[in-house]
Structure 1
């Protein structure tokens, strides 16, 4: 009986998080804002606002990019979340670009089951990961 109840409640949670729930602006710890949007079947996230006190790239350019031809581009507006797919209530299967280091990682994004205005962005490097908390920016 308990297992049935658990499975039922879990299915309600998964059904309550729709792909459109992710679309919008999210403020990450530190003050940066990422705007998540959908293009076709995939989700992307672009830098909408930089942190008040960034830890690198102080001139606002993509200085650490491994591609030298991209080091002079403005960080505002570039996609840092790429090719994420919605499955089982989460966004996964894509990558996140860290402009502070110039490195790209696999990523998973999910929304808190108790608060749809809170999401988590987890970047993976092998078995290691770092999770960032983000809150929805209200208009």
Structure 2
């Protein structure tokens, strides 16, 4: 009986291994072609636009046109922080926001990587009980 309990506990520990905070750091290509660079300052994670999609849906001029704050509508999208104030907890980045430059709105966000493929991450934007999940692939070159 002790053997079975030990085996079950060992399987649970192995299968619940978490992704380290450093695994998130780097460049990630989102569906559509944009690249976000995730980086860490202290214990907080951020993501900035490193490259825009080849055929953007909006903000064709490369500026933050949809921002509700008029003074920010002239800022360039390249280099702009869109993942803000994320905290690492049990393998997941959360408790921050994601800014959608196509709409000028910010949403709660959760970012995670499955330990079986650390070159794919998922970015989920929340508004109330509604959400949209994006897949991003690590850029290695």
Common fold by TM > 0.5: yes
RMSD (Å) for aligned C-alpha atoms = 1.2
Structure-2 residue corresponding to 1:101:
103
CA distance in 1, matches of 2:73, 2:8: 53
Q: Secondary structure at the match of 2:93?
A: strand
Structure-2 residue corresponding to 1:8:
13
Normalization by structure 1: what TM-score?
0.94
Unaligned segments of structure 1, at least 5 residues: none
Where do 1:55-70 residues align within 5 Å? Answer: 55-70=57-72
Structure-2 residue corresponding to 1:117:
119
1:5 shift after superposition: 4.3
Q: Secondary structure at the match of 1:115?
A: coil
Where do 1:33-112 residues align within 5 Å? Answer: 33-112=35-114
CA distance in 1, matches of 2:129, 2:8: 30
Unaligned segments of structure 2, at least 5 residues: none
Give the length in aligned residue pairs.
136
Q: Secondary structure at the match of 2:36?
A: strand
1:6 shift after superposition: 4.4
